[in-house]
Structure 1
Amino acid sequence: MRIVKLHTTGSTNDYLKALAKKQSLEEDTLVWALEQTNGRGQMGTKWSTEAGKNLTFSIFRKVQRVTIEEQFYVTMAASLAVKVVLQKLLIKNVSVKWPNDILSDKEKICGILIESVIKRGKLDAVILGVGLNVNQTDFGAVPRATSIKTRTGIHFNLEEILNMLLEQFYHYVKLLSQGKLDEIKEDYEANLFRKDKPSTFKGANGKFVGIIKGVTPHGKLMILEEDDILNEYDLKEVQLLF
């Protein structure tokens, strides 16, 4: 793996996208920034962190076997990799808030953003962006944020945690390459935040109560609603209120 370490950049995902346009990235490439000034989350949200205290990095990887229709399995695999590392660090009550926020109890400790590179109508590569709160303890007005240090009281070496994450990422890359998609999906669903619990959601027609039952292979959230009707929602169509 090629590693590019930066002091400051706007977004590691954007840096990698620009690099991929200039160069032919045939090997896995990781861009790690000590400070990210314009980090992005799902649907254009911002990811703000204190410089040098957290892990903000992106990985460019050519895709094998996974199709455009199956690309949500990459999101599921990445989420599970982060979950495993956090559990190894003795973080309690780790879960995945659909589609790809990692929580400890009800507080966000990590965000993942995956962008697809499509060529000739096929999935050619993915850019996996990770923002993991490690040693930051003051999040100001940011609601429901936490970090590894906040949870454990221990100051961690960023590179050690990065190596742990990479080890787990490649474990799940192996599962993807072996076509073990059902195994990944079952594991992901087993760790979904609020699964099988009555929850309140906000949709196009206002608030409603439902129960998360799982996800579709394309990444839509399956919610059991009134009259035992199972509906599927895309990211922009529903918001879990908690």
Structure 2
Amino acid sequence: MKIIKLNAIDSTNTYLKQLAKETQLLDETVVVAENQLSGRGQMGNGWLSREGQSLTFSIFKEFERLTVASQFVISMAVSLAILEAIKRFNIPDISIKWPNDILSANRKIGGILIENVLEGSVVKYSIIGIGLNVNETDFPNLPQASSMKLETGKTFPLEEVLDTILKNVFKNLKNLSSSDFSEMKRLYEINLFRKEKVSVFETPEGSQLNGIIKGVSDSGELLVETENNPLQKFQLKEVKLIY
């Protein structure tokens, strides 16, 4: 593992993607930003981070036997790795909100942005961006955001949290192949936020529907049982969970 630390950068994912194009990166290269100025979340959403209070970093990871059809296993593996890591710091009531937000007590403390580079029918490598709210205590206009400190009342050493997460992520991604999918999916669904509970979903058009999250498909779609349909599949941004 090689760690590159930067004082300030627009986006660790953008920086690492450019680096991967220009140089021969070592597998498991990590870029950590002390201050990320233009962090990105899923589908272009922003990610708020504060210097010295949060963790923002990106990982370069190569794969050998992972098919494009099974690429959602990367998202599941990373989500589970972060969950396992922060459990060690006694963060309460943690879960994964589909597809890969990290929640504590129904509030978001972490997010993941994965950008895969494909070669034929396999995943060549991934740029995995992770943002984690560690010691922040103020989230203006973000009522569903929280941090490890807000959920526990404790201040955490950033380096120790980072080291624990990286060890877990690389353990989960080591020799990851398509054959690992079913076990990862089982563990992911066990930790899925609001699974088997009646929930309210909103479509991009603003209409709402009630449904029960049953799990995810092999391609990562959310499986929801509704009153009029035994099982519907939703892709990212096709529905928003209201909670």
Fold shared, TM-score > 0.5 on shorter chain:
yes
* TM tier relative to shorter chain: over 0.9
Q: 1:140–1:155: structure 2 CA closer, same or farther, 3 Å change rule?
A: same
Counterparts of residues 45-194 of structure 1 (less than 5 Å)? 45-120=45-120, 122-174=122-174, 176-177=176-177, 179-194=179-194
Code of the residue aligned with 1:10 in structure 2: it is D
Q: How far 1:172 moved relative to its partner?
A: 1.0
- Distance in 2 between residues matched to 1:27 and 1:93, nearest whole Å: 33
C-alpha displacement of 1:141: 1.6
The AA in structure 2 aligned to 1:36 is Q
CA RMSD of aligned residues (A): 1.5
1:214 is aligned to 2:215:
yes
Deviation at 1:120, TM superposition (A): 4.4
How far 1:234 moved relative to its partner?
Answer: 0.4
Normalising by structure 2, what TM-score?
Answer: 0.95
Moved beyond 6 Å, runs of 4+: none
Q: Which runs of 5+ in 2 are unaligned?
A: none
Deviation at 1:177, TM superposition (A): 4.3
Q: Distance in 2 between matches of 1:120 and 1:73?
A: 18
Letter in 1 for 2:231: L
Following TM superposition, by how much is the alpha carbon of 1:131 offset from its aligned partner in structure 2, in angstroms? 0.3
Q: 1:22 maps to what in 2?
A: 22
The one-letter code sitting in structure 2 at the alignment partner of 1:24 is Q
Task: Find the residue that maps to 2:156 and give its secondary structure.
Answer: coil
Check whether the contact 2:133–2:148 (CA below 8 A) recurs between aligned residues. yes
Cα shift at 1:33: 0.2
Q: Quick one: structure 1 residues 217 and 149, their matched pair in 2 at CA, closer, same or farther if it must change by over 3 Å? A: same
3-state SS, counterpart of residue 199 of structure 1: strand
Partners in 2 of 1:104 and 1:24 — Cα distance? 38
Letter in 2 for 1:230: L
Identity of aligned residues (%): 46
Task: Indicate if the aligned counterparts of 1:175 and 1:181 stay in contact, CA closer than 8 A.
Answer: no
CA contact (8 A) 1:29 1:61 kept: yes
Question: Which letter does structure 2 place at the counterpart of 1:140?
Answer: P
Q: Distance in 2 between matches of 1:121 and 1:192?
A: 28
**What amino acid is the match of 2:141?**
A
Are residues 228 and 125 of structure 1, via their aligned partners in 2, closer, same or farther at CA, if it must alter by over 3 Å? same
- 1:37 counterpart residue number: 37
Q: Which AA in structure 1 matches 2:196? A: D
Paired residue secondary structure (2:202): strand
Q: Which runs of 5+ in 1 are unaligned?
A: none
